[in-house]
Amino acid sequence: MAHVITRPCCNDGSCVSVCPVNCIHPTPDEPDFMTAEMLYIDPETCIDCGACIDECPVEAIYPDDQLEEKDEPYLQINADYYKDHDVEGGLVPPRKSPPLPDKELHVAIVGAGPAAFYAAQHLVAKQSVKVDMFDRLPTPYGLVRAGVAPDHAATKGVERTYASTANKRNFAYFLNVEVGKHVTHDELAERYHAVVYAVGAATDKRLGIAGEDLPGSISATEFVAWYNGHPDYAHFDVDLSGERAVVVGNGNVALDVARILVSDPAALAKTEIADHALAKLRESNIREVVLLGRRGVAQGAYTNSEFLALGDVRGVDVIIDPDELTLDPASAAAEADGSLDSTIATKVRLAREFAGRSSTPGNKRIVFRYLTSPVSIEGGGRTEKVVCVRNAFVDDADRVAVTATGETFDLPTGLVLRSIGYRGTPVGDLPFDAVRGIVPNDGGRVTAEAGGDVVPGLYVTGWIKRGPTGGIGRNRLCGEETAAAVLADFIAGTLTDPAISRADVADLVTGRGANRITLAGWKAIDAVEKSAGKSAGRRLLKIVTVEEFEKTAATAEG
């Protein structure tokens, strides 16, 4: 019997480190780890020890004889990875870390998302390292709380790992504290050996087409924040009066948006979706969501696990026109000679299976339109339709390129959501690469410019470090790399000792109007949300306003 990794896989690699026979790949040491959709267990090497099950933070691993019917395709998905990836089993030698100097290291981390926590986890493992984590929001966990879809509760299991880090004696929260307003970067630099920015990519990419700013045209970023109860979007307005919504993009966020729009509100009512969003979705008239993908099915940016899961949404048909499943020349040639990458091959196979299914009268619909781009959004004062153009592949040996044809068509709709990626924004006075949307850095060490000199004591991790690519697993590797750079610089003696004690930071931010929320305050918030959720038959019931967060936290702050 072998074990199988299924859809909730978070890629954080916890399972890799405990596997005694190295049967889980790609590992963080392998190049594919940075781009892998998920991790895979080699059925030929697995010895059924169960160590990975105990370690998995999102409960994604099962013995192959205990899989639910809907998860049985993962038997093949796991095995397929090893068709074109040559890996070897065997014991993984432990890594040894050099000793730290005989003094404390003080680190400020700005941001409280996955990359921030993985950096903190690596740092607080050393008792002499003190970490203070700052975030302008009253809550931690970043996009795990405000970005992961509410019906993907298993993925949020990584919060347990983060909570364990926050409980360390050498860790402290400064939640509800905005760097740049309540405390400046220079003040942090004076009080800490190192300052690590883990602020993510704050904005979405634009389409750059006419009508993009009409009412009814919004970003998926805003919509996701709204249904996840982000306090900045508690009063955001979404018009769900029409029967069709159009989502531009076909990554996992686009699939999340489409799924939430057509899911049965009764099913969503069992999740941690924000109450204001649930109320609006109960009144929704949306019957169809159309996803527009600029390129072909082989270039779909969604993961196979999320694509497969759409077929399990009750009362919803996935519609794909077989004639639109055109492969680019390179993929078609690779498929013909049997060399097509296993992940892409699975993506194509699943799309063909969806295209072969019959529709059910009365069901809602998620429609995939490949090789299609929006040309403009039009309407008399608000969104009424999207004008689209059909694309065709261009013969280009270096990349998969497309060009617009002369064929256009209209999609009547009152709601358009752009979901074509995130983009980083400048961070205070830090150096910034406007082309890539990142702070220039060398392995996490901030540089004056790309390839320039390192700025001592200043670091980045996560999307602001490498751009908005990869999920939880890649953020773990990214955070650990930055933390290792901080420790290496401390050992090398290149970090300047703080000129001022960090002991005054709490009074400093309070004096500037911050209602700081500590670990005790966050635990009070968490307890209230979970208690309210239990009473309602849900995982938790989210607080969504800053005022209520502060009021709840105050009961424990003392």
pTM of the predicted protein model: 0.86
Is 143 marked within a binding site? Answer: yes
Instruction: State yes or no: 522 annotated in a binding site.
Output: no
Is 306 marked within a binding site?
yes
Is position 380 annotated in a ligand binding site?
no
Under a CB-based contact definition with an 8 Å cutoff, are residues 297 and 351 in contact?
A: yes
How far, in Å, CA of 116 to CA of 10, rounded? 16
Tens digit of pLDDT per residue, the chain (558 long)?
Answer: 578 888 778 877 888 878 877 888 888 888 888 778 889 888 877 867 777 887 888 888 888 768 888 888 888 888 788 877 777 655 445 455 688 899 999 999 999 999 999 999 999 989 899 999 999 999 999 999 999 999 988 888 889 889 989 999 999 999 999 999 999 999 999 999 999 999 998 888 999 999 999 999 999 999 999 999 999 999 999 999 999 999 999 999 999 999 999 999 999 999 999 999 999 999 999 999 999 999 999 999 999 999 999 999 999 999 999 999 999 999 999 999 999 999 999 999 999 999 999 999 999 999 999 999 999 999 999 999 999 999 999 987 678 899 999 899 999 999 999 999 999 999 999 999 999 999 999 999 999 988 889 999 999 999 999 999 887 778 888 999 999 999 999 999 999 999 999 999 999 999 999 999 999 999 999 999 999 999 989 989 999 999 999 999 999 876
Q: Tell me if 253 is assigned to a ligand binding site.
A: yes
Does the annotation list 470 as a binding residue? yes
**Residue with structure tokens 């610089």?**
489
Q: Is the dihedral of CA 326, 329, 334, 336 positive or negative?
A: positive
Q: Is 183 annotated as a binding residue?
A: no
Q: Is 400 annotated as a binding residue?
A: no
Q: Which domains does the chain have, with CATH numbers?
A: 3-81 (3.30.70.20), 105-202+424-516 (3.40.50.720), 210-420 (3.50.50.60)
The DSSP letter of residue 298 is G
Name the burial class of residue 102, with classes exposed (0-12), middle (13-18) and buried (19+) by CB atoms within 10 angstroms of its CB. exposed
Whether 471 has a binding-site annotation, put simply, is yes
Residue 167 vs residues 21, 120, 178: alpha-carbon distances, Å:
32, 12, 22
| Mode of pairing for the β-strands spanning 171-175 and 445-447 | unpaired
> 179 labelled as ligand-binding?
yes
Q: Is 294 annotated as a binding residue?
A: yes
Residue 251 is labelled as binding a ligand: yes
Whether residue 243 is annotated as binding a ligand: the answer is no
Contacts 24+ apart (CB under 8 A), 383-388: 383/211, 383/214, 383/215, 383/216, 383/217, 383/413, 383/414, 383/415, 383/416, 384/216, 384/412, 384/413, 384/414, 385/410, 385/411, 385/412, 385/413, 386/246, 386/292, 386/410, 386/411, 386/413, 386/416, 388/292
